[in-house]
Structure 1
Amino acid sequence: MKKGFTLFLSLFVFSAIFAQEKKKEQAKDTVKTEVVNVITKYNPKIADAKKIKKNPTIKLLKKSEKKKLEYTIFSAPVASTFTPKSGVVKGIDVGVKERIYKNYLAAGFGNYTTPYIEAFIHHSTRFENEFGLSAKYLSSQDNVSRSVLNSNFSNFNTSFFYKQEDRYFHWKATLNTERNRYNWYGLPSETPYTESTISLINPQQTYNYLNLIGEFNFIDSYIDYGKISAAYFTDDYGSKEILANFNAKLDFPLSFLHLGLDDISVKASVEFLKGEFNNSYTDKNKVTYSTVTAKLHPEYKLSYKGFSLNTGLKIIASLDSENDITNLFLFPEIKIQREIIKDYLNAYGGLTGGLKTNTYKNFTEENPYVSPTLFITQTAETSNFYLGFNGKVNNNISFNIVGILKTEEDKPLFFRNNSKSDGTSNFSNGLSLLGYEYGNSFDIFYDDVKTTTIFGEIAYDFSKKITLGTNFQYDMYTVTNAITKWNLPDMQATIFGKYKSDKWYATSNIFYVSDRESVIYNDAYPSSIKGTKWLANFVDINLNGGYHFNDKFSAFLKLNNILNSNYQRFANFDTQGFQVLGGITYKFDF
């Protein structure tokens, strides 16, 4: 027992001593001298910024050090030619800034018993809306010399608009009205009319026009604008015409293709025309017309190697419900321009076409002596090719010259009606003649016409006060069915000049129109054509000017037909001789 305990105790002590030696030996072998990197997260505070007191030191490399600059000055005497002079600073003469007024009233009177009144009233508010009202009246009560019928006229036009600017779009509403009175006073010279016949002729015609327009301009939108218009036109003979149209322009983006392309603009329109005349020139049957026209015009603009290119396609569908005719037109459009000599010479050209809707209203504006018996149809411009040059010779002289080749189907030509009276009677076939049935009115003759045109213009800015210029147009016509190019001149030219100073202003115009041809009949209606009558060329010189008494009051003077020429724009319709009209203008603000 004692031996066993003694043996156990001896083994325990030996094990404890061995374990201590083992640990000491292990600690000595494993612990080494090393650099310990302690990585911890640093969260700076605003207050820590004040603790940074030293600026960083930047050391440059040897090759980046600045080199010492060594230089030597060789002085030599230079004779000075500069002699200072006393004086004042020379400024730029910008002139006196003219004050612009929003409203004005003008009134005047001239020979031929010609009263003239014009007014414009405009007002805008800080709430981004505005409205305006304008009115103009001009008449001539005395007759043209050598006219046996009344030849007086009057024009009265008014316009009212209201405009509102909103956040995403602007809109504007406009109402236009017109009342114009004329007389068919151009009796044919080849037919002698008795005094009793002339006394029973009533040549007066009055045109009434009403037009309502709504416009919308969008901001930052794919729709640029939209326009709605409705017009109503009548006369003293029961003629009626309604014209309604809608126009819009849209932009379609191509950025989604990632090709760097610009937007494609598309113009779209729908037009409705309907009208009627109580009778035709040949009988008492009504003349009616009605067309619906839809147009789509995509257009794309781009630039390439100095060329500005505009390409498009006009797609037009037209429905003539009166004649049960439907037409579809495709007119390609190309416009190109390039700078040849920078800032001095540009070349441009193109090919286009289109479909024009003729209206009774438009014909009366060009020739107020048409009869209320017209056949109305559309004119197709099948091709229009042009090539021209524009630019400037220097900073004062600019120019433009262009050649045009144009082909038109159903181009309207003014064609004089044959008289239904032999000069001794006011009746035909037992019916009383109307005021336009004495050979003193015009019909419309439609023909396919090819036109070659050369047009040129030049302007010269002589000084800040004086501008001079001229333009000319020479036309060569090829007709298909007509005997000749009725009432179309070969040559037209204009010379103009403008002068403006602080107090005085003046504008002069000299017009030249070459010979034209009109028809002559063998006898009273119905009769064949005897031949043509030449209308002589004419020169018309006009001068308009005035004097400013102050910012608000000024006087004006208009001189027309200074040469007192007795010419005719249309066959048998003499114009007034020398005309003078003077008056005053008052400008003001509310």
Structure 2
Amino acid sequence: MNIKYKIASVILTMTLFNVAGQDRKKDTIDDQVVNVVRPYQPTISDAFKIKDIPKLSDSNSVKKKPVKYNIFSIPVASTFTPAKGKAATVDKAKPTKLFDNYASLGVGTYTTVLGEVYLNHAINRSENVGGYFSHHSSQGGIEDLLLDDDFAKTVLNAHYSQKLRDFSWKIDAGYDVRSYNWYGLPQNFFGPEEAGSIDSGYSFSGFNMGGKLNFDDAIVKDGSVRFRRFTDNRDSGENRFIAKTSFSIPIQDELLSTSFYIDYIGGSFDNTYTSADELKYGNTTLGLSPSYQLKHDDLTVDLGLRLVYLNDNEFDDNKFFIYPNIEASYRLVDEILIAYGGITGGLIQNSYQEFSNQNPFVSPTLFISPTDQRYSGFLGLKGKLSNNVSYNIKGNYYAEENKPLFKANDAQTFATRDYQYGNSFSVVYDDVTTFSIAGELNIDVNRNFTLGIKGEYFNYSLDNQQEAWNLPDITGSIFMDFQISEKWYAGASAFYVGERKDQLLLVGTLIFPDPTPVTLDSYFDANAHVGYKINDQLSVFAKVNNITNQDYQRFLNFPVQGIQALAGATYQFDF
């Protein structure tokens, strides 16, 4: 009954809805379209969360009983001592033992003897004493010579130094003697007859003493003095005294670096080349060189000048010179590329002793005069191509008044002295401008191998002389050192010197002088050495010079020895 009643109700309700839906005319609400302008954007307020916190009901939970701990400290005697910690050490190679002294002796062809002894002894922490001895001699033996060509050089030096709290000082004294022969007899002028009457041997000797002072924190930085006496066995003598000091003058917050020197020289020759008149020379120079350094980032500039006063003691003539002294450098690319340049000048004091070192075959009849280097300009680039390769390229321009040049003396048919046969050299002076380009490359492959290469080209312009006598147009050199192993080492060197010019002139009572220009050929001199270290103190070595056996002339009519071999040993020791 209930089911029938429910079904009848549903049918009646559906019938009423159907009737209402069919009667559209009586509906007062029209249908409309609803347009959604913006999408729905929910807000936080629309969200809700469950706020109920669940609770666990554990009927088996057990309440923990609090536990208390009681510690009873009882002192116990103990003899335990913890070991001290030590830093771990790195195994190091055994350091090389260095010795303060050594002695070396070698013998070779041409009856050559080469010996050296160097001594240095520390008296205490602040005092040192030492000395040096060297000897190099040869009995000669150059082929096709009419005169002897033996030579010998011996040098002896001793020094004492002390280091104190604020300064250090050193004194030293030395003696040297050298003997040579004027063996360069022009054989197109003279033969065995004339050679038999010539005593070509001569010698130089010199004594010097001096001292140095260096201050740690003072206005005066250092100072030095040196006296030298130089003579030969042909009654020539020269005295020279040099004193130098440098100091810094504070100007506000900067320092003005200044150096000052006194240079005295005086000497005489027993006669001139063509007369018996005594030849004297002497002068005194005083120089002052203030300079100031500017630094800004990668730029460094040294600004200065040189003031020089010259007093010619023989001719009673005084002169005053002012020279520039400016240098600058700029790091273009860190250590890779550095540009530098400058312009400097100075008065160069020439001496008999220095001329004999440059050319030992000069005659004892020289005119000694200083050289006025008006300016010396240079510009270059230097740097590193890598950590092991460095380079230097430089251009130079010199303007010099009274520049000395070695020139062969005239050969005289009526010669009365042993150096008047065209077998000696004089010094002539001229105003010379020189332009040169130089390059240098140094390679340090590693600690065991180094290589160096140098070269320079020269161009000369003179006012009076026909040529730049005995000055080369090109020079070059190469050096190499190689540590083959712990015991073996070796090295090599080579030198190249370009062509030079000189002049032959025969003078006689019935002969009209007719100078003959001579071009000296360029030469290449290669040398090598090898050594073996027997132990820490003893080693042996062998050297070979002029490997290519070139019969070249260093100066006109003065050929050098051919291939030379030498062997010896070196011993190092301590006192």
Q: TM range, normalised to the smaller chain? A: 0.7 to 0.9
- 2:456 is the alignment partner of 1:473: yes
- Tell me, yes or no, if the aligned pair for 2:244 and 2:259 is still in contact at 8 Å: yes
What is the SS of the residue equivalent to 2:475? Answer: strand
Q: Distance in 1 between matches of 2:420 and 2:512?
A: 14
Deviation at 1:160? 0.3
Q: Which residue of 1 aligns with 2:229?
A: 232
- Tell me, yes or no, if the aligned pair for 1:335 and 1:350 is still in contact at 8 Å: yes
Q: Which residue of 1 aligns with 2:481?
A: 498
Q: Distance in 1 between matches of 2:306 and 2:250?
A: 20
1:44-63 correspondence runs (5 A): none
- 2:534 is the alignment partner of 1:582: no
Question: Which of 137, 162, 169 is equivalent to 1:171?
Answer: 169
Deviation at 1:103? 0.6
- Tell me, yes or no, if the aligned pair for 1:157 and 1:179 is still in contact at 8 Å: yes
- Tell me, yes or no, if the aligned pair for 1:521 and 1:527 is still in contact at 8 Å: no
Give the letter for the 2:306 counterpart: K
1:9-408 correspondence runs (5 A): 97-193=95-191, 195-254=192-251, 257=252, 260-261=253-254, 263-408=255-400
Give the letter for the 1:534 counterpart: T
- Tell me, yes or no, if the aligned pair for 1:96 and 1:502 is still in contact at 8 Å: no
Going from structure 1 to structure 2, the CA distance change for 1:129 and 1:93 (only over 3 Å counts) comes to same
Deviation at 1:219? 2.4
For the pair shown, the structure with the greater C-alpha radius of gyration is: 2
Going from structure 1 to structure 2, the CA distance change for 1:325 and 1:461 (only over 3 Å counts) comes to same
Deviation at 1:192? 3.1
Deviation at 1:154? 0.3
- 2:510 is the alignment partner of 1:512: no
Deviates more, 1:184-193 or 1:95-104: 95-104
Identity %: 35
Deviates more, 1:304-313 or 1:179-188: 304-313
User: TM-score by structure 2 length?
Assistant: 0.82
Deviation at 1:464? 2.6
Deviation at 1:166? 2.4
Give the letter for the 1:578 counterpart: I
Deviation at 1:299? 1.3
Q: Distance in 2 between matches of 1:332 and 1:219?
A: 29
Q: Distance in 2 between matches of 1:395 and 1:98?
A: 26
Q: Deviations over 1:334-374 (max 9, x none)?
A: 10001001221100000100010000000000000000000
Deviation at 1:120? 1.0
Q: Distance in 2 between matches of 1:360 and 1:527?
A: 32
Question: Which of 523, 527, 531 is equivalent to 1:546?
Answer: 531
Deviation at 1:92? 11
Deviation at 1:529? 4.4
Q: Distance in 2 between matches of 1:516 and 1:540?
A: 16
Going from structure 1 to structure 2, the CA distance change for 1:524 and 1:493 (only over 3 Å counts) comes to farther
- Root-mean-square deviation (Å): 1.7
Question: Which of 484, 496, 499 is equivalent to 2:467?
Answer: 484
Give the letter for the 1:398 counterpart: S
Q: Distance in 2 between matches of 1:549 and 1:542?
A: 24
What is the SS of the residue equivalent to 1:376? Answer: coil
Q: Which residue of 2 aligns with 1:57?
A: none
Deviation at 1:304? 1.9
Deviation at 1:95? 6.7
- Tell me, yes or no, if the aligned pair for 1:294 and 1:318 is still in contact at 8 Å: yes
What is the SS of the residue equivalent to 1:496? Answer: strand
- Tell me, yes or no, if the aligned pair for 2:132 and 2:156 is still in contact at 8 Å: yes
Q: Distance in 2 between matches of 1:146 and 1:237?
A: 27
Deviation at 1:185? 0.1
Unmatched tracts of structure 1, length 5 or more? 1-90, 422-426
Q: Distance in 2 between matches of 1:527 and 1:217?
A: 61
Q: Deviations over 1:57-81 (max 9, x none)?
A: xxxxxxxxxxxxxxxxxxxxxxxxx
Deviation at 1:126? 2.1
Instruction: Please list every run of at least 4 consecutive aligned residues from structure 1 whose deviation after the TM superposition is greater than 6 angstroms.
Output: 91-95
Q: Distance in 2 between matches of 1:362 and 1:442?
A: 14
Q: Distance in 2 between matches of 1:126 and 1:504?
A: 35
Q: Distance in 2 between matches of 1:454 and 1:96?
A: 47
Q: Distance in 1 between matches of 2:338 and 2:116?
A: 42
What is the SS of the residue equivalent to 2:145? Answer: coil
Q: Distance in 2 between matches of 1:94 and 1:206?
A: 54
Deviation at 1:522? 5.0
Q: Deviations over 1:531-558 (max 9, x none)?
A: 3101011110011221111100000111
Q: Distance in 1 between matches of 2:520 and 2:380?
A: 32
What is the SS of the residue equivalent to 2:411? Answer: coil
Give the letter for the 1:179 counterpart: V
Deviation at 1:305? 3.9
Q: Distance in 2 between matches of 1:278 and 1:93?
A: 70
Q: Which residue of 2 aligns with 1:442?
A: 425
Going from structure 1 to structure 2, the CA distance change for 1:207 and 1:92 (only over 3 Å counts) comes to farther
Give the letter for the 2:534 counterpart: F
Q: Distance in 1 between matches of 2:173 and 2:394?
A: 38
- 2:447 is the alignment partner of 1:464: yes
Q: Which residue of 2 aligns with 1:46?
A: none
Going from structure 1 to structure 2, the CA distance change for 1:93 and 1:399 (only over 3 Å counts) comes to farther
Q: Distance in 2 between matches of 1:415 and 1:407?
A: 21
Q: Distance in 1 between matches of 2:138 and 2:99?
A: 30
Going from structure 1 to structure 2, the CA distance change for 1:359 and 1:412 (only over 3 Å counts) comes to same
Deviation at 1:530? 2.2
Q: Distance in 1 between matches of 2:90 and 2:458?
A: 47
Give the letter for the 1:480 counterpart: D
Q: Distance in 1 between matches of 2:570 and 2:297?
A: 53
Q: Deviations over 1:431-462 (max 9, x none)?
A: xx221111100000100000001000111222
What is the SS of the residue equivalent to 1:462? Answer: strand
Give the letter for the 2:505 counterpart: Y
Q: Distance in 2 between matches of 1:362 and 1:142?
A: 24
Unmatched tracts of structure 2, length 5 or more? 1-88
- 2:412 is the alignment partner of 1:420: yes
Going from structure 1 to structure 2, the CA distance change for 1:123 and 1:532 (only over 3 Å counts) comes to same
Q: Deviations over 1:246-302 (max 9, x none)?
A: 100111112xx2xx42x1111000111000000000100000001000000111112
Q: Deviations over 1:311-352 (max 9, x none)?
A: 111000001121222110001211000100122110000010
